């Protein structure tokens, strides 16, 4: 199936598994072999069942333009377009506060590229911060399997400096916060949020 952005460009999911990924490969307790979004989804399910927070991945409405019917009982979507640009990946409520965040992972060892952060996402984050919402990025450096929580105002600052193409990892280590990985929950980002905001 092909899904396209409103400008017609094809969408490639950042949570798509690499072509060399072995689906039979088991991941260890820290989630190696899984995407960041899969780990966050499992974490959010854990938070929900434990009554800790209500956080969900935001659905993005699509317009279906081409469907095949190989069988009478089955339809296969072959082409679709996003009706509107997405904002951030997740939002919800934790201890009475609104939370909004974006999940990104990179194979780069020394920096986080800004090419996948879009202007409409930055503007959305500015609006959330204006309303005193909690807004941040969860960034996983795949080679080291390290996850950092970086508050949105830091990313906005780097994004606004037009000559910047990326955020050095050393700056993320300085301004961001390491998020520990485990079994239950996989990525306990709310522990970090609690330390920062409550």
d(CA 189, CA 193): 6
Q: Using alpha carbons, list the distances in angstroms from residue 70 to 3, 64, 78, 81.
A: 20, 17, 12, 21
Sign of CA dihedral 167, 170, 176, 178: positive
Strands 54-57 and 74-82: unpaired
Asked if 29 and 39 touch (Cβ cutoff 8 Å), the reply is: no
Give the residue numbers of the binding site for Mg(2+): 87, 89, 102, 121
Give the residue numbers of the binding site: 87, 89, 102, 121
Nearest to 167 by CA among 143, 145, 183, 148: 148
């Amino acid at each position: 199936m092909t899904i396209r952005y409103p400008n017609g460009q094809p969408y490639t999911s950042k949570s798509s598994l690499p072509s060399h990924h072995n689906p039979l490969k088991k991941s260890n307790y820290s989630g190696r072999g899984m995407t960041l979004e899969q780990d966050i989804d499992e974490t959010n399910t854990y938070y929900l069942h434990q009554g800790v927070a209500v956080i969900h991945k935001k659905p993005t409405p699509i317009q279906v333009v081409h469907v095949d019917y190989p069988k009478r009982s089955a339809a296969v979507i072959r082409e679709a377009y996003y009706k509107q640009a997405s904002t951030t990946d997740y939002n919800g409520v934790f201890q009475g506060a609104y939370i909004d965040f974006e999940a990104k992972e990179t194979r780069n060892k020394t920096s986080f590229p800004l090419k996948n952060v879009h202007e409409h996402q930055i503007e959305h984050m500015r609006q959330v911060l204006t309303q005193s919402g909690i807004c941040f990025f969860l960034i996983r450096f795949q080679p080291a399997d390290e996850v950092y929580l970086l508050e949105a105002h830091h990313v906005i600052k780097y994004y606004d400096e037009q000559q910047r193409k990326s955020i050095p990892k050393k700056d993320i280590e300085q301004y961001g916060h390491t998020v520990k990985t485990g079994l239950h929950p996989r990525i306990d980002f709310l522990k970090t949020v609690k330390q920062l905001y409550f």
